[in-house]
Structure 1
Amino acid sequence: MLTLENLFVLMVLASIGAWIWHNHGLREKALERVKQHCAKLDLELLDDAVALKRVGFVRDAKGKKRLARIYNFEFTVTGEQRHPGVVTQFGAHTMLIELAPYPFEINTPPKATNVVEMQQWRQQHDRWHP
């Protein structure tokens, strides 16, 4: 026979299971957003994972405190060093993705050979002082 106490325990277990299932879906959305962000910046997401750091209240863009999930992840630029990152989510919406400072190369074009320095040009074309 199903008693009221047994029904209550089943409801609590079902609620916990639903909460875990919902959190897994939110973690997958956070992982997808981090992958997109890393791909856009030409970074490599390490371990292909995000890990829940904490659940707590965080101020949103309007300054209002809302319940947020904060996930940690690691990325690399060169494949040699790991750098930490954090993604903050309000439900399924990503608020912020923060990356720790990391080294990057600035690709400057090679100096053109047909460029003449101004000082050199003045010396060659100075009419008044030979």
Structure 2
Amino acid sequence: MDSTSLIFLLLLAGGVWFWLSSIRVLELARSAGREACIRANVQFLDDTVASIGVSLVRDAFGRRVLRRTYRFEFSETGNSRIEGRVVMQGESVESVTMDPYLVVT
């Protein structure tokens, strides 16, 4: 096996790892967004989150991990779309924030 084939296989393996990791973290972020909406008694719209950013950060142990930011939409009345964000650090939820909304009683 020549060095070009080895480099190609390593890049391919890295791409597959990143893709599988991204799918796993996307599902965790979607669950975190849905749970935040349930706790806030609002509707989680479209049952999805969308990636809006990726950066490299250090975790509590000093290891480099990816910080991924996702956005989702929710509605308190069904007539509006309000944005929320889920920030994932590695495979852990770092934060879930929701833009201000009208509390319906």
Shared fold per TM-score greater than 0.5: yes
User: Which TM-score applies when normalising by structure 2?
Assistant: 0.85
1:52-97: CA deviations, max 9, x gaps? Answer: 1101257989xxxx74211111001111100001111111111211
Cα RMSD after superposing both structures: 2.3
TM superposition shift of 1:43: 1.0
1:80-121: CA deviations, max 9, x gaps? Answer: 100001111111111211111111124xxxxxxxxxxxxxxx
What is the CA–CA distance in structure 2 between the aligned matches of 1:59 and 1:10, rounded to whole Å?
28
Q: Which is further off, 3-12 or 74-83?
A: 3-12
Aligned to 2:29: 30
Aligned to 1:39: 38
Does the aligned pair in 1 maintain the 2:77–2:104 contact within 8 Å? Answer: no
Q: Between the two proteins, what is the percent identity of the paired residues?
A: 31
Determine helix, strand or coil for the equivalent of 2:70: strand
What is the CA–CA distance in structure 2 between the aligned matches of 1:60 and 1:98, rounded to whole Å?
20
User: Which TM-score applies when normalising by structure 1?
Assistant: 0.70
TM superposition shift of 1:36: 1.0
Gaps in structure 2 of 5+ consecutive residues: none
Aligned to 1:5: 4
What is the CA–CA distance in structure 2 between the aligned matches of 1:29 and 1:86, rounded to whole Å?
13
Question: How many residue pairs end up in the alignment?
Answer: 102
- Greater relative contact order, per chain length (Cα 8 Å cut-off, separation 6+): 2
Aligned residue type for 1:86: R
Determine helix, strand or coil for the equivalent of 1:72: strand
Q: Which has the higher strand share?
A: 2
Aligned to 1:98: 97
